Structure 1
Amino acid sequence: MKKTVYIRFTLILLIVGFMLAVQYNTVRDPETRDTRDVWAIRQELAKEKELHSELLSEVRVLEETIGKYENMMSDSPEIALNDTVNKLKKDIGLEEFIGPGLTIVVEPSLESIAVGQVISEISPDLLIRFVNDVNSFKAKAVEVDGKRIIYSSAIRDVNGKTTVNNLAVRSAPFKIRIGTSSFEDAKKMYNQLVASAIGDDFFIDNLRLKIGEPETSIRISAYDQSISKQFLLEVPGGE
């Protein structure tokens, strides 16, 4: 009888202790409240809507591509395949880009010239950050000092020289060309670069970004080196 009483008493204490622990944890770590004001929430909502619109546009383009490919497949599979290959080459930078965009000149800052300061080359870290910024602004094609940037391009320091695709980038001044999908995107790219803080980082390195006005047509050379196919396997015919 006493043993049963002890067991019940122990169970009650365990339940009470568990409830106290839960209550203590709730009081100690209250649920975080969203303290943003209405305008901050509206801005976040606007960004999400813009992203949603971009995704819908991409889905629409892919659906049109699939429909076009299916129609062409019924008439001529070879033409459909060549069309797809050419589009992929253009998308990854294996073909020349001709379209809207803007040209940027990287040149020594006026202050460094005035005091006769030695201008160092652009650093790989700064160039990588710049390329990442313009890609986040929806750049269609990027060329640095005549060197086309693609998905596999390497920007690194080689024996004290900044290189792109294993080719040295000359000392300032040199040009960076950015291609966009439309002239409206080019104007948006221009405004984003003007408002960006990336220019301050160039100024710290005694360099200046001279951002040209949006153009309806610029020419960006194609990637002219071989592409590694290390992870690609050829599928035997008929499979």
Structure 2
Amino acid sequence: MNKRIVTRITIVSFIVGLMIAIQYNTIQKPTERDTRDIWEIRQELSEEKKRHSELLSEIGTLKSIVDEYENDDKDSQAQILKSTVHDLKVRAGIEAVSGPGVIMSIQPAMELVALGLEIEPISPDLLIRLVNEIYRYNGLYIEIDGQRLVHTSAIRDINGKTTINGFAIDESNVEIRVITESFEKAEKLYSYLYASTFHDDFYLDNLSLNINKALSNITIKEYDGKLSNTFLVENNKGE
């Protein structure tokens, strides 16, 4: 056989073998290895299913509103419009809302008070964690120390003080109000928070987290600030 042909076959075989080796190595050793166990994956799947269910429920609600607009007369449509606007204002936080929920409080630990030690402000990071868990477990509306949480609310440290919506919260006694969709969900939220490790987390910061049992009706006041609007522009021209 001609040496030139043998050389060509050798080069082609080497390239093919190298490509196969690279592909095999990529399959066997992915760039980022998924180290989650089966329970973590199941939990994530459960959360995604919950979000999917919430989206389907929201779509169903919007479809029913559209059907009402299409099928009712003008007077009924006006009433439906008022109801829709009120619901949107409640969701945005610019109107007070009442419903079933849970009231909790954060106070200095008794040992701290007995020893006469200086009271430290509540950590913004710890408060943010608590708020995220409340939203995760059926919390719809939240008020902290009289400050209604809305989509623009920020919990941060300013000059050594924990602030919400730019206002410093009390360092000695902070009340948190949470409203849920139903009393059953309020009870579930209470059970979760009561059994969680948040008691220990706050205690490490010399604070006591007190969680009261679910109530059938509590009130959260409206947001008293001005909501910023980035994408919507008011049309003043009219028709």
TM-score range, shorter chain: 0.7 to 0.9
The residue aligned with 2:220 is: 220
In 2, the alpha carbon distance for the partners of 1:128 and 1:41 equals 25
Deviation at 1:4, TM superposition (A): 4.4
The residue aligned with 1:13 is: 14
The answer on 1:119 being equivalent to 2:119 is yes
RMSD across aligned positions (CA): 3.2
Q: Please say which of residues 175-184 and 2-11 is displaced more in the overlay.
A: 2-11
Deviation at 1:228, TM superposition (A): 1.7
Q: Which residues of structure 1 form unaligned runs of 5+?
A: none
Q: Is the 8 A contact 1:148 1:221 kept in 2?
A: yes
**Residue type of the alignment partner of 1:166:** G
Q: Is the 8 A contact 2:68 2:77 kept in 1?
A: no
In 1, the alpha carbon distance for the partners of 2:58 and 2:195 equals 27
Taking the TM superposition and a 5 Å limit, the aligned residue runs for 1:94-105 are 94-105=94-105
The residue aligned with 1:146 is: 146
In 2, the alpha carbon distance for the partners of 1:151 and 1:28 equals 42
In 2, the alpha carbon distance for the partners of 1:100 and 1:23 equals 57
Identity of aligned residues (%): 40
**Residue type of the alignment partner of 1:10:** I
**Residue type of the alignment partner of 2:232:** L
Deviation at 1:116, TM superposition (A): 2.7
Deviation at 1:131, TM superposition (A): 1.4
In 1, the alpha carbon distance for the partners of 2:40 and 2:168 equals 44
In 1, the alpha carbon distance for the partners of 2:147 and 2:124 equals 14
Deviation at 1:201, TM superposition (A): 1.8
Local SS of the residue matching 1:140: strand
Taking the TM superposition and a 5 Å limit, the aligned residue runs for 1:16-95 are 16-23=17-24, 50-72=50-72, 78-95=78-95
Local SS of the residue matching 2:170: coil
Q: Which residues of structure 2 form unaligned runs of 5+?
A: none
The answer on 1:129 being equivalent to 2:129 is yes
Task: List per-residue Cα deviations over 1:132-180 (Å, max 9, x = no partner).
Answer: 1211112111111111111111222222222211222112212111111
The residue aligned with 1:108 is: 108
User: How many residues of Structure 1 are paired with residues of Structure 2 in the alignment?
Assistant: 236
The answer on 1:192 being equivalent to 2:188 is no
In 2, the alpha carbon distance for the partners of 1:139 and 1:129 equals 13
Q: Please say which of residues 87-96 and 18-27 is displaced more in the overlay.
A: 18-27
Q: Is the 8 A contact 1:72 1:79 kept in 2?
A: no
**Residue type of the alignment partner of 1:15:** V
Task: List per-residue Cα deviations over 1:19-49 (Å, max 9, x = no partner).
Answer: 34545655666xx899967x88876766565
- TM-score w.r.t. the length of structure 2 is 0.82
